[in-house]
Structure 1
Amino acid sequence: MAKEVIMPKFGFTQEDSQILAWLKNEGDPVEKGDPIAEVSTDKVSMEIEAPEDGILSGILYPVGAVVPVTQVVAYILQPGENLPAAASAPVGKPAPAAVVQKEEKLSGASPVAARMAKEAGVDLSGVEGSGPGGRILKQDVEFLLSHPQASAGKVNATPAARSLAAQAKLELNQVSGSGPEGRIQAADVRRASQAGPAATAPAVPAAARRTIPFTGMRRAIGLNLQASYQQIPHITLQVDVDMSASEALRVQANQMLPAGSKDKVSLTAVIARAVVWSLARNPILNSRLEEEEIVLLPDVNLGIAVALDEGLLVPVIQQAQGKGTLQLAAELREVTERARGGKLRQTDLQDGTFTISNLGMFGIDRFAAIINPPQTAILAVGQVRKQFVPDEHGQPVLHSVMTATLSADHRVIDGADAARFLADLRQALEKPEVMTL
């Protein structure tokens, strides 16, 4: 029987995704788990995997199509098997005109390939990829990394700038770039095209106005948080925590790891363990408001905010309530690496129930975060700093102190509920032994 390949749902409020590329062609043999298509919501690009071994058949949507979640997009057939009689593409939302034009040419790189290239400092402009229509895929970047001479000798320009220059019959080596390290942007080519020969002289002034399009992930994040702050009455409470014992626990945990282990326990992992313990004692913070009901959720699916160049993602550690500090540390490292490498799985972004946002690594002492709907609370933590604290005799003693700020949905959570959670969290971090009692 033909196996349906459906458009997955990556988030609680997601309604559709756009097909960025088919990584396999009609009639190609596939194995279970093979990536067969790359799709994108406004916030993240991910791959659809083959649900079983077989032959990819009946591709229903072209590149650029916007498809509702759970809609069938293709089938996996066994040898000799035929497509269902009803296999036809329902009418979906068309892609924006700019996207359709881009995807018809299939220029540029997949998000995964683009991120890999950026991290490695590889220029992909002018590279012909191995994907459909010349799209640059992950394996193409891997080839360039192992054959650096393949990308040498090219003018430093974006693909969009190259396309515009070709249309305007401009030589790129005569255009001054305003991007990083003199990279030629599309705006530079437009400016040169409008100004004529004079544009090939001096570089663009440093004070020239530059803009960043409010689209894609940046727009999705902005609109989501705007709606959260407008619709959810935030209440914020703050505590200072003595982190001396937690830092000692982290050092001890790392000493227990095998030599050469990559799963080093970070302070975020220690905080995550304390948060999970505190949520078990204060389940109202691990809840969701659904119309006329407050739903207390059985699992703690802990979101950890990860900052990327494109914006903020919140990958999720599923069922964190049954995991100790070492396991949380390992899963935190894995999911963070997947987020930064553009390799997130569908489950990595689903069903978060509570989020931790840590800006301590940026030198921030304290801040208040905005709740990530449909969750009802988020914890913001700053850096661990040295601070004199009076002892029982009033004498100043130097301690390691961290400020934790809880933002909670006041429709669901009272101030006393939030205060009790923070009190338990402070106890767990200052006396980690209570979590094992």
Structure 2
Amino acid sequence: MPIAIKMPALSPTMEEGTLAKWLVKAGDKIAPGDIIAEIETDKATMEFESIDEGTIAAIQIDEGAENVKVGTVIAMLAEEGEDVEEAAKAAGSAAAAPAPSPAPAAADAAPAPAASSAPAPASAPAPAPAASGDRIIASPLAKRIAADKGVDLSGVTGSGPRGRIVKADVEGAKAGAAAPAAAPAAAAPAAAASDVAMADETRAILDARVPHSVSKLSGMRKTIARRLTESKQNVPHIYLTVDVRLDKLLALRSEVNKALESQGVKVSVNDLLVKALGKALIAVPECNVSFAGNELIQYERADVSVAVSIPSGLITPIVSDADGRSVSSIAKAMKDLAGRAKEGKLAPEEYQGGTASLSNMGMMGIKQFEAVINPPQGMILAIGAGEKRAIVDESGEIVPAMVMSATGSFDHRAIDGADGARLMAAFKELVENPLGMLA
């Protein structure tokens, strides 16, 4: 009997995903453990392993299809000794019966009836009938790779269904300058064509008089929007800021890096700040908590989630046991995690969880900011840029010093202001006297 291969749930929160790439085709034999597809979730692109043995009888969902619900049959597998053609026929009849949710390729085709049902803005001329090539149809993964490589998608020929541009098409393309903007008169039909696929709420706020483009939100951007909105609506934030001297930390970093040079390890300021936050969370355990409604969860280890910006949004890989690890171990872990995060190759357990977060925008010149808590965590530390400031030292003299501002955002349901202040004081002490974090 044919085996249905279904869209897997690659993380506890995954409800749908994009079938980024098939690594097998109909007729291929597979065994347990073989990688058969790449699935793009809301946070990463992950490999999908087969757990069965047999021959791929039919591919049910095309490569590049978006919003494929978990549990949807994506392929059929003929077992050993089973007739592959019969299994393929069974797959075809099974697909016809339940009428699965429409593949994005069909939506991208934008059939003519939909165009006539969508009212065009009064200021724009009625769109002329357009070929499917008037709009660039590409998978989210292909768009992200194109942005990274500087590839102009308008010059790429798609090999996916209905000419859809997929990952392989972009990887083989050469980087080039974006196509020049068309004259306003020529741009009007394209803008009108893009209106066909717009949601009503998008069209309602759009000022069609201003040149524009409209793109669908990626799964990651939708998740970020939903979670941060929920955080600001449901979590009462309290913000506490301290100014921290960095001179001793910078001197220690220089000495540590000289000692580690032969090992090829380079410790960043951010690595040391992760260590300092981990130690501070253990020193003030009242802040290493999660609010759970009727209970308070207190953690005995500090797993620090570190915000990393990637082309499609923001992800927070976790440095586990940040309080107990050496700074060289933290540096190695962060280099590996950040690199794989940008490639979309993190496993769910590497970015889901954590007991607190750290977000550093100092390298972008941001002096001070207030970060949004990442539930169910109880706090997040926002790091600003280090800068030369005039301060009054212990002897009362005005001297120059390298100073940064750090702001803690705390869930006031779980963490009292006094405990938050103790955490900020402990963090400041560790950074200003960094030998304490190495002891």
- TM-score bracket relative to the smaller structure: 0.7 to 0.9
Shift of 1:414: 0.8
TM-score w.r.t. length of structure 1: 0.73
- Alignment of 1:122 with 2:122, yes or no, is no
Shift of 1:99: 6.3
Cα distance in structure 2, aligned partners of 1:193 and 1:72: 31
Shift of 1:398: 1.2
Cα distance in structure 1, aligned partners of 2:307 and 2:362: 12
Shift of 1:94: 3.2
Q: Which residue does 2:107 correspond to in 1?
A: 101
Q: Which residue does 1:313 correspond to in 2?
A: 315
Return the letter of the residue paired with 1:347: E
* Aligned residue runs from structure 1 range 15-414, under 5 A: 15-29=15-29, 32=33, 34=35, 36-41=37-42, 44-50=43-49, 54-55=53-54, 57=56, 62-63=61-62, 64=65, 66=67, 79-80=80-81, 94=101, 100-102=106-108, 108-129=137-158, 135-145=164-174, 156=179, 175-176=182-183, 189-190=190-191, 208-210=210-212, 215-216=217-218, 217-258=220-261, 261=264, 263-414=265-416
Q: Give a deviation string over 1:153-178, Cα, whole Å, max 9, x none.
A: xx928xxxxxxxxxxxxxxx9x4379
Shift of 1:323: 2.5
Return the letter of the residue paired with 1:363: G
Aligned in 2, Cα 1:283/1:40: closer, same or farther, shift over 3 Å? same
Shift of 1:282: 2.5
Q: Give a deviation string over 1:239-268, Cα, whole Å, max 9, x none.
A: 11111121122222322334694x532211
Shift of 1:357: 1.0
What is the RMSD computed on CA atoms of the aligned residues? 4.3
Cα distance in structure 2, aligned partners of 1:209 and 1:129: 27
Aligned in 2, Cα 1:255/1:136: closer, same or farther, shift over 3 Å? farther
Contact 1:66 1:93 in 2 (8 A): no
What SS is found at the alignment partner of 1:230? helix
Cα distance in structure 1, aligned partners of 2:216 and 2:162: 28
Q: Which residue does 1:419 correspond to in 2?
A: 421
Shift of 1:287: 2.4
Aligned in 2, Cα 1:33/1:363: closer, same or farther, shift over 3 Å? farther
Q: Which residue does 1:162 correspond to in 2?
A: none
Shift of 1:232: 0.6
Cα distance in structure 2, aligned partners of 1:139 and 1:213: 21
Contact 2:25 2:59 in 1 (8 A): no
Return the letter of the residue paired with 2:152: D
Shift of 1:126: 4.3
Cα distance in structure 1, aligned partners of 2:161 and 2:53: 20
Q: Could you tell which deviates more after superposition, 270-279 or 315-324?
A: 315-324
Return the letter of the residue paired with 1:231: N
Aligned in 2, Cα 1:352/1:14: closer, same or farther, shift over 3 Å? farther
Aligned in 2, Cα 1:74/1:125: closer, same or farther, shift over 3 Å? same
What SS is found at the alignment partner of 2:380? strand
Cα distance in structure 2, aligned partners of 1:72 and 1:346: 23
| Count of residues in Structure 1 that have an aligned counterpart in Structure 2 | 391
Aligned in 2, Cα 1:349/1:251: closer, same or farther, shift over 3 Å? same
Q: Which residue does 1:198 correspond to in 2?
A: none
